Each structure stands twice: as C-alpha cells, then as structure tokens.
Amino acid sequence: VIWKGNLAPLRSALGALLPDSDGYAGNAINFYHQSWWSRDYQAAAETVERSTTEDWIDRSNVILPARLYLAWAYEALGERAKASALYTGLKDRAQTALVEQGDDPNHNLALAFADAGLGFGQDAVREGQKVAALMPVSVDALSGPAYLVFLAQLDVRLGDDNSALDQLAQL
C-alpha cells in the first residue's frame, strides 16, 4: 500500500486472518487503515469499536490510543459531538499520563491531537513541538520520521499547510 497505493494486497492479507485469531485482533490498526484509505469511515469506526486493544502501535512504533482513531472516523462521518467527547477523554488521559510519567512523544502527540480536535490550536502546536524535540529523526531513524508525518497531519488539522509542508520537507 505504501509503495504503490494498491489496497488489494492488504485486503488479501487481512482477508486470510481468522476473525477469532490473535493475528486478526493484532491487526486492528491495519483493518482501520484499509477502511480509512477506502474512505469507508463507518467501517473504520466499527473496527475501533470492536477492538479490545486500548493503544495501537503503527508500523513505525508510534503508539496512540485507539480512541483517537475513532475520533477521526467520527469526524469524517460528520459526527462532531461524538468526536469531541472522545477528544475530551483523550486529553484527560494524556494529561494524566504526562503527569505520572513525564514527557513522552506518544502521550504528547495524543494530547496534541486531542487539543486540535477541541479547537485549542496553540496548545496543540506546543505539544507538537515537544514531540519534535523528544523524538527527532537523528535520535530514532524508524520512529522519528513517523512522528514528523503525524506532526504534518496535525498541522493540516490546524489549517497550517505551510508548516505541514515544512515537516514533510524534512523527510
């Protein structure tokens, strides 16, 4: 998918998994992406709602709450009230984790997206800057670029396309 934009191999691989298997459950994020990239936001939301995993790890080891993906699906479906309720819970969860554990790029990123979803743009930018400082590409060649991609997505959500392009230019 990433190389050629072809969803067929992903559909085939996911279709081979048995619904009650560990492999099926462990691929919830991939089922979500398949639905999202197909613009089937209802199926994306249902994937999260069925998932029993609280946090999803992407292919670059970025860990975000599954409920964040659900908030994005609800937004895409036009269900803003449901998304806002999720963002509020995500913000509380991330703030608690940051108090208990200190700065962490995953918690800071989740908080940035929650703030953006709630309309707190300056707070979202501040948390995004922390993420960039905590996990630069020079420190982690696998996760560092993935955080830049997420930060570009954050910038787009905040309406700052120029900053998003700057993030992508670093890649």
Closest CA to 41 of 82, 4, 5, 3: 82
DSSP the chain: -TTT---HHHHHHHHTS-TTSHHHHHTHHHHHHHHHHTT-HHHHHHHHHH---SEEE-TTS-EEEHHHHHHHHHHHTT-HHHHHHHHHHHHHHHHHHHHHH---HHHHHHHHHHHHHHT-HHHHHHHHHHHHHHS-TTT-TTHHHHHHHHHHHHHHHTT-HHHHHHHHHH-
Cα dihedral angle (150, 151, 155, 158), rounded to 10 degrees?
80
CB-side neighbour CA atoms (13 Å) of 87: 21
63, two tokens: 């860990």
Q: Cα 71 to chain center, whole Å?
A: 10
Asked if 10 contacts 31 with a C-beta cutoff of 8 angstroms, the reply is no
- Its pTM stands at 0.94
pLDDT at 20: 86
* Beta bridge partners of residue 57, listed in sequence order: 63
* Contacts of residue 4, Cβ cutoff 8 Å, sequence gap at least 6: none
pLDDT at 132: 93
List the chain pLDDT tens, one digit each, 171 residues.
Answer: 888 989 999 999 999 999 888 888 899 999 999 999 999 999 999 999 999 999 999 989 999 999 999 999 999 999 999 999 999 999 999 999 999 999 999 999 999 999 999 999 999 999 999 999 999 999 999 999 999 999 999 999 999 999 999 999 988
pLDDT at 171: 87
